[in-house]
Amino acid sequence: MKTLKASIISAFSMHGFTLRSDALNFLHDKLVSLPSEEQQTDVEKMLNQVIGQNLTSPFIDKSNVEAAFKSLHSTTNDDGVLFNVCDAFSLIRFVFNADLKKFLPWSSRYDKAAALHGNPGSKADMLIEKYRTIHQRTSRHRLFAAPAISHCSTESSAFSLRAIEHLLGSSSKEENVIVLGMLTQLKEGQFYLEDPTGVVRLNLSQAVYKGGLFTENNIVLAEGFYEDRIFYVTAIGFPPPEPADITLSHFPNLCVTPYASMNSHRLSANLKRAEEANTDAMFVFLSDVWLDQLQVMQKLQVLFAGYSLMPPTCFVLIGNFLSLPIVGSHSKTFEECFSQLGTLISEFPTLLEKSHFVFVPGPNDPGLPYILPRPAIPPSFLGDFKKKVPKAIFTSNPCHIQYCTQDIVVFREDIISKMCRNSIYTPWEHEEKVDIPNLFVKTVIANGHLLPLPLNVAPVYWEYDHALSLYPLPDVVVCADKYDPYTVTSANSIFLNPGSLPRSNFSFKVYFPSVKQVEDSEITEDQS
């Protein structure tokens, strides 16, 4: 039986590390008093911490393991804040290391901060990382993961994922091949499937499309046969989803918001108890809050008056904040409208004291347009609003809101119409009843991304594409859209669209985190 020191040395050696004697002695002294089962668990946790450090050498010093031990036993994460808002430019970017089979912080690999305007290699890194993330998730799924011990050599429930280079290297016809790759259109009207190993031309004339809105840049599973340098697709669908609890069981450190010292805040027992105990907590989501429309301001007054007796945890107000795009003199109008909103909110002291007000910009609001993620509305457009509403938070689009153990993503984009316009298959022309929101949700979950569209349709900053990632899946994703309001639950995540406030009879959504339920609401006539 191995001694404790031998076990520690073996565990670190398997990951390519060599422990110096002082580091080994430190670990031994800290773990020797624990039961053998806990010793092994703590060694694995220490390894995860060490791997996440910005190491420049495979030799592990005492300082490295001391820092890992301190982080591992820190109580900061488990006693962390109940509510926080993180903009897109502060999120932690992770990359998947295929050798270690772990996600590592991007900064530890490249030792530099992300740039708003990346170099040409940034685009390739973005696409490759997106593929790797989905590939590791798919290959672990029970449909594709071969059993560790086969009880029957002739039977297996697992399918085999093939790389495109496997097809290109095949000299004979091969049937029932399943390939994971990205849909691309390298030539006008001709689709290809691409992965890091190569690209193959597709014949989609006989393909059966399953469950989603298929556009370029989607990562899909294609089944078919390869012949004469063409992959004839018989069925095309999306990679299977993975609920967040499964993802975090494999990668507990995969927390994109910078609030956790080791594991994700979503695994915190203390925060979970606080979440369940606070049954009065609620989030109110409103989109297209047109402050230049008198009727909208009147409805907001009714809304605030109604909630002043039981203040929500947070009002999330989503743009656009004017009914027309900002041009020229409209910037002054924007400032005046927010001043009026500040005056309105100031009439309700209980809301000022107990509620947060989060503002997420829309496509026509001031700031850097057309490219995502969008920064927050500049302070120069807000006048004295922050003085009137001190708890107001202006953040990016998209943004993450942490409430206890829950991760809420808020995104403003007319995405469903773009997905439908660019879909290579139109299910509404072939089926009688089509649930578009459900197909949209399945597509973004499968791709692990808020915007699975070609870059010419939906441009993003290459080195900040991770801000649009949905991996691990958040608890709630608010996709504010001009489309009709909806609530869809899939893979244990809730997707909702509050709808355009003026266009949907002043409807909005209310989320209750203690029970994870969404309520449809509407601002009716004045209650005074």
Place of tokens 């399945």: 442
CA 88 from centre of chain: 11
pLDDT of residue 155: 46
The segment with the largest mean pLDDT, out of 110-114, 156-160, 450-454, is 450-454
DSSP state of 379: G
pLDDT of residue 267: 86
Residue 399 pLDDT exceeds 70 = yes
Residues with Cβ within 8 Å of residue 171, at least 6 apart in sequence: none
Encode burial over 443-470: b for 16+ CB neighbours within 10 A, e otherwise. bbbbbbbbbbbbbeebebbbbbbbbbbb
DSSP state of 103: E
pTM of the model: 0.86
pLDDT of residue 26: 87
Percentage of the chain beyond pLDDT 70 is: 90
Q: In this structure, are residues 215 and 223 in contact, taking their beta carbons and an 8 Å threshold?
A: no
Residue 151 pLDDT exceeds 80 = no
pLDDT of residue 54: 58
Among 43, 47, 49, residue whose Cα is nearest residue 70: 49
Place of tokens 């003199």: 329
Q: How many other β-carbons are positioned within 10 Å of the β-carbon of residue 2?
A: 9
| Digit-coded pLDDT (tens) for 191-201 | 999 999 999 99
pLDDT of residue 528: 40
Mean pLDDT of all residues in 190-218: 95
pLDDT of residue 237: 97
| Digit-coded pLDDT (tens) for 459-480 | 999 999 999 999 999 999 999 9
Confidence of residue 328 (pLDDT cuts 50, 70, 90): low
| Digit-coded pLDDT (tens) for 334-383 | 999 999 999 999 999 999 999 999 999 999 999 877 899 999 999 999 99
pLDDT of residue 14: 79
Percentage of the chain beyond pLDDT 90 is: 64
